[in-house]
Homo-oligomer: A and B are copies of this chain.
Amino acid sequence: MTGRLTISLDAMGGDKAPEVVVQGVQIAHTRLPHVDFLLFGNEAQLQPLLDKAPELKDCCQIRHTEFLVRGEDKPSQVLRQGRQTSMWLAVDAVARGEAAGVVSAGNTGALMAISKYVLRMLPGIDRPAIAGFFPTARGESVMLDLGANVDCDANNLVEFAVMGDVFARIVLGIEHPTVGLLNVGSEELKGNDSVRTAASILRQGNLPLSFHGFVEGNDIAGGAVDVVVSDGFTGNIALKSAEGLARLYTRFLRDAFSSSWLARIGYLLARSALIKVKLRTDPRRYNGAMFLGLNGIAVKSHGGTDAVGFANAIGVAVELVAHGFNERIKQELERLKAVEDQPAQAAAI
């Protein structure tokens, strides 16, 4: 079993569960043959799907439960009554050490609430954040928080900056990532109290990260920084606004290419180049939002994703496990704490 690792799955979460989950596992299995899966969900639905995929026989185990979290369920209600749901049990498998990470395409709010309750926070972190990738002119950037916290104070934003910095080092492999705070303008006086105060803390420069300053909405896709930090309300809306516009552009282009015979022939000639653009901007490529700051790896797949997208979310979870992500965050936080304590010690002498 050396080198093998186990990922637990909320097999009932997402718009097209459990079919898409099992299909996603099929794709993930070809890419990651060293990974085993615990599928939490309804056995009567799952077993026939697994029977059709004999290659998964050895790497998949079903853990039966009849209960599941629905999209419209309130997190508080799930916390009170949801201990037997597929989502809760999948997260709990990580807490109990049965799995190294969990992936769910279900209700985001419920998954965050369960994960916070079951996995607890990393020592030194006050609030978790949801982080995701964003395509940019330079490659890709990390953005957080994407919706875990609607109201954030300056300290939360500083914590997000530290976690995002570590995340970019590990997952994007950037040695000295640049970190920017999302704001309405780059002048120091603009913005609300939280971003202004967070910027002044980050500017003091005794944190081990490279703070770029404020960035504006257009700087996200522009690739001005490697890590974009914001509160969850703004970050969620910024990301989804951009996604909405991307979908609109794709639609306009499709309309254009089918508007005349000449345009159709033009499309056929440019097709292989255009497919590269499609791959570069494929939302499935950016599927898999990471819950940072928790004492365990939890990845949220987009609820409406297909098998390829779900397989990518599994891939993100496996990568975070393989790189010892949380260990690295803990080390960075200790390093950070040491830096923070230093001036105080010096003053004491």
Which A residues contact B (CB, under 8 angstroms)?
A: 72, 74, 109, 135-137, 147, 150-151, 182-185, 187, 189-192, 216-222, 230, 232-234, 236-249, 251-253, 255-257, 259-260, 262-263, 265-274, 276-277, 280-281
7 tightest A-B contacts by CB? A217-B240, A266-B270, A266-B269, A218-B244, A221-B244, A217-B241, A263-B273
A147–B185 Cα distance when bound, in Å, is: 9
A189–B73 Cα distance when bound, in Å, is: 11
**Does the CB pair B232–A217 fall under 8 Å?**
no
**Does the CB pair A253–B239 fall under 8 Å?**
no
Partner of A267, one of B72, B260, B270: B270
Quick one: closest B residue to A262, CB to CB? B269
**Does the CB pair A237–B217 fall under 8 Å?**
yes
Contacts A135-B248, A221-B241, A234-B237 aside, 4 further interface pairs with beta carbons under 8 A come to A217-B237, A218-B247, A238-B241, A263-B274
The residue in A230, A238, A242, A257 that gathers the most chain B C-beta atoms within 10 A of its C-beta is A242
A242–B238 Cα distance when bound, in Å, is: 8
CB-CB under 8 A from A237, the residues of chain B are: 182-184, 216-217, 230, 234, 237-238
Quick one: closest B residue to A135, CB to CB? B248
Partner of A262, one of B216, B222, B270, B277: B270
Partner of A277, one of B222, B239, B253, B277: B253
A60–B142 Cα distance when bound, in Å, is: 50
A277–B276 Cα distance when bound, in Å, is: 20
**Does the CB pair A256–B281 fall under 8 Å?**
no
**Does the CB pair A244–B222 fall under 8 Å?**
yes
**Does the CB pair B242–A244 fall under 8 Å?**
yes
CB-CB under 8 A from A277, the residues of chain B are: 249, 252-253, 255-256
A216–B147 Cα distance when bound, in Å, is: 12
A249–B239 Cα distance when bound, in Å, is: 15
Given contacts A234-B237, A240-B217, A274-B256, are A245 and B245 in contact (CB under 8 A)?
A: yes
**Does the CB pair B222–A248 fall under 8 Å?**
yes
**Does the CB pair A236–B184 fall under 8 Å?**
yes
The residue in A136, A192, A237, A276 that gathers the most chain B C-beta atoms within 10 A of its C-beta is A237
